[in-house]
Structure 1
């Protein structure tokens, strides 16, 4: 047994105390899967609305605002941490396994169970760590004013809420539901945001009078209340202080573009060695790594934003801190925006006018997103077991060969397609994100890309089951 393998053995003593969803001992009917998926989603949405007990009102800007789109989190509620711990633990463990830092044989049932247990334990530790960090950093008020009792109570609430997310994700992954909890919660959070900004009945007080937040509601309200109908339509389409109809149409357009590109793929003809005449195809999609590049890119940028804001608040006069990022609080919006430094240049321009006013900012942002998404995509195939070498091994294990090619040249043939699909697909994902941001789509380019790719995966799942 190799020295690397000892890491998984360290998990064995704690496996008996880790919460676990048992593997189903029968085939779960499709309708029952839908039911469990709906129950899991309902629990998650309820937790998103239950406020944390014991917190004090904090008027400070939300330092995690930029991360919430991919974390399915809701500030001040049980879902404050969202899926952050489980995503972090999953990606770190995947990277460790893919880069062979820890040795895992996924063909062995014991190894799979230990790896899953290690991921779960790591997720629980991250949940506790993040909960303590949130409380200590003053997210819920000054620590002295909160008191030890309230601080511990908040940490316990966040920990148990994080545990619920881990269990719900495992419930779906084990086959009781459809897809994974992570994907389901991200897509629901983003879609909820889009629907709310389109149809929100909440009123906002502006200099022009009371307006509705929802773009569609605002359109009808303006048409009814204003005498000049052309001016009413113009305001509904182009108002800048709240979601407008143009933002909504841009969101729909990006949805359609992403769905169109989802169908791009190359089918490689394969045949079975043992069964003569039986052929099949191995599809290599344009979005070979799906939404992973934009998740990693957003996670990188979000963490940079977070640390940049913390440093800027404490060391505003430091030159290095200013180079990293300069921030301005937006009181009405409840978050800070970058106005200088690296953080500013890697953030999307707020409008088309801003692109014209500062083309250097737009150019740096475009270059950063395209290059980072392409690099993340190429790196991910190497560490996640989806490179040409790994795919060739999977095909050989299934006794399959590429039609018209020798078995020994399988890796070379796959190398013509997979790295290109990964890099170019990553760049396309990045480009679509940029387009969505520039058009002002609701929910940010990243959010829409995540929502569409996840919804499309569910659509493919439904089609496969119904056949």
Structure 2
């Protein structure tokens, strides 16, 4: 066992953990625990942080939907620490910097515990950075006690997120808490954009923020019906029907692509007669490439903003990223440096207006998601060799391939291609949604759509198992 595990063993033993269930968890019980997990997240997203003095605009508003974050609440940091910790640890393992034998139960458990430890350290680090940057008011005016109180609240909330994710991952519920929280946050944003009863006034009269409510309101109250239709579909002060339609189109497109798959026929070594297939879907790595891309760019943007705020004239800092308020909402956007080219255009008009920036940023997004997707299968237990082992553990083999090496060769023909091409497609869909002006950003819509589709498939599989199916993939 390596030095790394010997060092962290006494530390990780102090971290609260949720043990795997000792009995089979039924469908209804899993539904209950998934619902409780979602309820805890929603409640924490509404409980304000005590001791803060939040003023001014939100410098990180662009990352909140994707990171399941809500400003000024216990969910201030969202899933950012846990995703960042997981990404770093998996990359360290994949690069062989940390040697882990996943077949060794003790090393596997220690590795998972080390991810939790690093997630808590990331929570502390991000919390301190937020406090020192003045996100909750001037630290000198807040006082040492309030700063410690805010940090404690953020740390406890981060621990809650870790435990909720572990609860679902250990089989008490469905799917992953990370994906569930992201999808919930984005769906909430879409519903609010469509049906918000709040009003706004941009100089053309009072209008509802909700695009659907505003559509009927304008048609009823305005004598100029064509002008009312134009405002309902193309207003820029708040969400419009064009954004909502684009969101629906992206959802349907993702659902359509989710059906692209290759079915490999299986046969049971125990003589079962059921016809089963192992499906390799186009989105083989699901939404992980876009989550990893979002986590990486979000952390880069956070660091860049903090540095730029402190050293706005430093050449190297500006090379890393320079920021300016360039929107009517007073929010900061990158206008130069690496961060500028990591930001995809928000509309077709922006792409046409600055094609060089658009092509470079889109190219970087596609490249990063493709690489993340390709490498993720190596560190997440979904490579061809891992799938062969899983099938062997289920006492199932690929029909016509009794030899393990031959079955790996067959899987190698599909899995790496599905991972790479799927990562590329999912990044292009994300960028396309941004260009169309979908509500909640293209990345957010994509994550919500893939998560909903996965949950639908998971419910179907679990229901079949509950009804007595022997095995399913």
SS at match of 1:62: coil
Aligned to 2:47: 50
The counterpart of 2:461, out of the listed 460, 464, 467, is 464
Q: How does 1:270-419 map to 2 (within 5 A)?
A: 270-272=266-268, 275=271, 280-329=276-325, 333=329, 335-396=331-392, 398=394, 400-405=396-401, 406-419=403-416
Taking a change above 3 Å as real, the CA distance of residues 334 and 76 of structure 1, as seen in their structure-2 partners, is farther
The counterpart of 2:434, out of the listed 434, 437, 446, is 437
**CA offsets per residue over residues 10-66 of structure 1, 9 Å max, x none?**
34334543212243333333222222222221121111111111111321x433223
SS at match of 1:284: strand
SS at match of 1:338: strand
| Alignment check: 8 A CA contact 1:99 1:383 kept | no
Q: Tell me the CA shift for residue 145 of structure 1.
A: 0.6
SS at match of 1:70: coil
The counterpart of 1:64, out of the listed 60, 66, 70, is 60
Aligned to 2:4: 7
| Alignment check: 8 A CA contact 1:289 1:380 kept | yes
Q: Distance in 1 between matches of 2:173 and 2:444?
A: 24
Q: Distance in 2 between matches of 1:46 and 1:276?
A: 47
Q: How does 1:230-249 map to 2 (within 5 A)?
A: 230-249=226-245
Q: Distance in 2 between matches of 1:392 and 1:99?
A: 23
Q: Distance in 1 between matches of 2:197 and 2:145?
A: 38
| Alignment check: 8 A CA contact 1:269 1:281 kept | yes
Q: Tell me the CA shift for residue 400 of structure 1.
A: 4.8
> Structure 1 length as normaliser, TM-score?
0.92
| Alignment check: 8 A CA contact 1:98 1:385 kept | no
State yes or no: 1:227 paired with 2:223. Answer: yes
Aligned to 1:453: 450
Q: Distance in 2 between matches of 1:399 and 1:285?
A: 22
Q: How does 1:173-252 map to 2 (within 5 A)?
A: 173-252=169-248
* Bigger mean CA deviation after superposition, 219-228 or 438-447: 219-228
Q: Distance in 1 between matches of 2:405 and 2:347?
A: 53
| Alignment check: 8 A CA contact 1:98 1:384 kept | no
* Bigger mean CA deviation after superposition, 444-453 or 76-85: 76-85
Taking a change above 3 Å as real, the CA distance of residues 315 and 100 of structure 1, as seen in their structure-2 partners, is closer
Aligned to 1:79: 75
Q: Distance in 2 between matches of 1:234 and 1:331?
A: 22
SS at match of 1:207: coil
SS at match of 1:172: helix
> Structure 2 length as normaliser, TM-score?
0.91
Aligned length: 463
Q: Distance in 2 between matches of 1:340 and 1:113?
A: 43
Q: Distance in 1 between matches of 2:171 and 2:398?
A: 32
| Alignment check: 8 A CA contact 1:169 1:181 kept | yes
Taking a change above 3 Å as real, the CA distance of residues 448 and 395 of structure 1, as seen in their structure-2 partners, is same
State yes or no: 1:17 paired with 2:4. Answer: no
Aligned to 1:253: 249
Aligned to 1:428: 425
Taking a change above 3 Å as real, the CA distance of residues 355 and 330 of structure 1, as seen in their structure-2 partners, is closer
Q: Tell me the CA shift for residue 391 of structure 1.
A: 2.9
Taking a change above 3 Å as real, the CA distance of residues 28 and 273 of structure 1, as seen in their structure-2 partners, is closer
Which consecutive residues of structure 1, in runs of 5 or more, have no partner in the other structure?
none
Q: Tell me the CA shift for residue 273 of structure 1.
A: 5.4
